[in-house]
A and B are shown apart, each in its own frame.
Chain A
């Protein structure tokens, strides 16, 4: 990776990925939540994203990544952010809100208008391609 710094900035990581969630990944795995990762954080990230990590672990970290405001729940605003980042703004606002409504309708088990960790896990662990898409091969 070039320089001998002990801390990785998220600008440096951006050069390596076109991932729409790259900033969130860096924030989730860094110690102070601002996107700067030490070697330990870096290793944690790759260990969670590798093929060998158990499903529950991946589901937990996926939940944290998609929880943009870090409040422990995926609310409608988090969902809107996710969908917008996924489609790079190509969907109209109406379509985005339709998608968010559908997601909440499908996965919100306790009907509180937001996805808790249990709702999320219940839904994601049944997905056939979760393991194959949520991983980075080094």
Chain B
């Protein structure tokens, strides 16, 4: 008996501990009580992303970066691990490091540093295999986790239950009887009030009529402008990319800061200003606020997607250039090697007291490394994105709030109520920025294993910085709308971005030849050949035969067909079950009417009814698993 009690106490304490370990819970609760659930949903999303990135970081750090650091050859031992002689003088300059060139480029942060030896260290850790598998596993894990979150939220939606007793539940179950702190209570009152206002607006908006033709014309006009904006932004990026290619041909010292960072700045600025334009055009459309929000999100999504893909096209251009360059460099290297061999033979046959023949790794001519270049581009883009976001928040939110607060005393009109007033927290913009950032991480982490780590730092500081900014400079929105009750809309977009960002990576892995002079796959014809190599060397031969049979096209087609059929079957079952669910609900609605008309009222009043209920509730505990239709005859 004592043991059972102690065990129960231990479990309770453990639950409390687990609840206390959840990071930033108090911050998010404070925001929730002041701004409502929609703003808090952004921070919950941020925290969830942090968790996903943490797992990706642990994978890349422990399986790629750490083994290389512990057991790989140190800096300076191989040509690929050394800064070339020409760049050595400036390798440690801040400007160079900020661009992730110089010492930063020749380190475990990027693909090019890794050696292509099959095993390293005393444990025979297979680094190329691990690099490849971690890349694939990160993608697989990301898909799994996003899908899992989406399916969990489908359950939350309840299949339509929310709308049956919407207001009743708001009235009777929204007060949290646990609250004992006056300030929290204040916040809870505010949040309940806002919740009611939200529901009332939704209710009212459903009852208004409109003038059809004018509305249609205005909507067409708005879409036309949006199209123009999207086209304009695409062209701007294309032009910036062409210019950056021209700059790459010139001498770096003649370029100012703007020219060097033009590409990234253009992308970040477009991402900042175009959404405000879209908002402006949406004024013409006059949709219900929820639908307008969805349109806005869709347009911002299209904008950011277009930008990302133009960027990738530009990168592919660069990659192809580098691959062409490789052929020339290979020819040069063969010449150089021939010279070195001559010199080496000369030193052997010559004076034996002369200095031993030795070529410093920094002097060896290097081949171009397109993978490191891709990694660098993504890292630079991420860093510039972060900086732009922080600067925007500081200037747009904080300075504006300071200006409104302090200049209000000596200004002609009321700054706080009129223009510019305090900023509202832009949920959709922030969520989309987060999603696209994650897309870039997914694209770039194969070529720059440090990218998840950089993102973790970024999300961590973002959390604190944005929490502070929101509580300090923003005001709750006047119109409170969430794009989706259960965050499924955002998760859907995240899934789409995941799919779209892993496609270029997979394409590059499967069809581009790895650079011959850098990275764990150098010397192979294609990156995935590392799997074949492992099968040959590390697995018994019969297993290799079996696996080769498995990749037989006939078998693969059969498997794909079976999967398609399973999907179709599950889809049909789900539809059927939803219909059955709705049917049961209808029956349940009619049940109280049937019961109330058939049961006489008790003479004992509420107490008698209460005793009866108490008895039936005890009875119910034993009968919990019975079907609800049994309830009718048992009620009297």
Contact = CB atoms under 8 A, between A and B. Distances in A.
Nearest to A60: B610
B607 to A, nearest CB: 10
A87 B166 CA distance: 17
A60 B613 contact: yes
A119 B186 CA distance: 31
Chain B, interface SS category: helix
Contacts of B595: 118
B169 to A, nearest CB: 5
A117 interface: yes
Contacts of B192: 86-87
B547 interface: no
Interface residues of A, number: 50
Contact of A133 (B175, B199, B200, B617): B175
Interface stretch (B177-185, B301-309, B413-421): B177-185
Nearest to B186: A18
Interface in B150-189: 158, 161, 164-182, 185-186, 189
Q: B158, B182, B203, B617: which has the most chain A beta carbons within 10 Å?
A: B617
A72 B609 CA distance: 12
Given A20-B175, A21-B175, A56-B617, A99 B200 contact: yes
Contacts of A136: 177-178
B10 interface: no
Contacts of B217: none
A116 B10 CA distance: 43
B196 interface: yes
Nearest to B591: A122
B594 to A, nearest CB: 10
Interface stretch (A2-10, A33-41, A104-112): A104-112
Contact of B175 (A19, A79, A102, A109): A19
Contacts of A75: none
B26 interface: no
Nearest to B170: A99
Contact of A117 (B167, B175, B199, B606): B606
B224 interface: no
A54 B169 contact: no
A57 B177 contact: no
A55 B606 CA distance: 17
B596 interface: yes
Contacts of A137: 178
A117 B595 CA distance: 13
A49 to B, nearest CB: 7
A118 B592 contact: yes
A127 B180 contact: no
Interface in A81-100: 82-83, 86-88, 90-91, 95, 98-99
Contacts of A90: 189, 193
A129 B182 contact: no
Contacts of A109: 592-593, 596
B179 A123 contact: no
Nearest to B599: A118
B616 interface: yes
Contacts of B610: 60
A62 interface: yes
Contact of A107 (B165, B173, B189, B593): B165
B524 interface: no
A39 B460 CA distance: 50
B592 A122 contact: yes
A60 B605 CA distance: 13
A57 B614 CA distance: 7
Contacts of B189: 20, 86-88, 90
A10 to B, nearest CB: 16
Contacts of B620: 56
Interface string A63-75: 0101000001000
Contacts of B360: none
B197 interface: yes
A130 B193 contact: no
Given A86-B174, A130-B173, A119 B196 contact: no
A98 B165 contact: no
A57 B616 CA distance: 11
B15 to A, nearest CB: 12
Given A91-B196, A110-B593, A123 B614 contact: no
B621 interface: yes
A56 B610 CA distance: 9
Given A90-B193, A98-B200, A124-B173, A135 B165 contact: no
Given A57-B614, A87-B193, A118-B596, A106 B177 contact: no
A17 B161 contact: no
A53 B593 CA distance: 27
Given A82-B171, A106-B166, A91 B197 contact: yes
Contacts of B164: 106, 126
B173 A127 contact: yes
Contacts of A82: 171-172
Interface in B64-97: none
A103 interface: yes
A137 B192 CA distance: 21
A86 B175 CA distance: 7
Nearest to A96: B196
B138 to A, nearest CB: 35
Contacts of A57: 613-614, 617
A119 B181 CA distance: 33
A77 interface: no
B148 to A, nearest CB: 21
Contact of B203 (A66, A79, A102, A134): A102
A130 B174 CA distance: 8
Contacts of B165: 106-107, 123, 126-127
Contact of A56 (B161, B172, B182, B616): B616
A52 to B, nearest CB: 12
B182 A18 contact: yes
Given A126-B165, A133-B175, 4 more contacts: A87-B193, A120-B172, A126-B161, A134-B173
15 contacts: A20-B189, A57-B613, A57-B617, A60-B610, A60-B613, A83-B196, A86-B192, A87-B193, A90-B193, A91-B193, A99-B167, A109-B596, A123-B168, A130-B172, A133-B176
**A-B residue pairs, 9 tightest by C-beta:** A18-B185, A102-B167, A56-B617, A87-B193, A90-B193, A107-B168, A54-B617, A109-B592, A127-B169
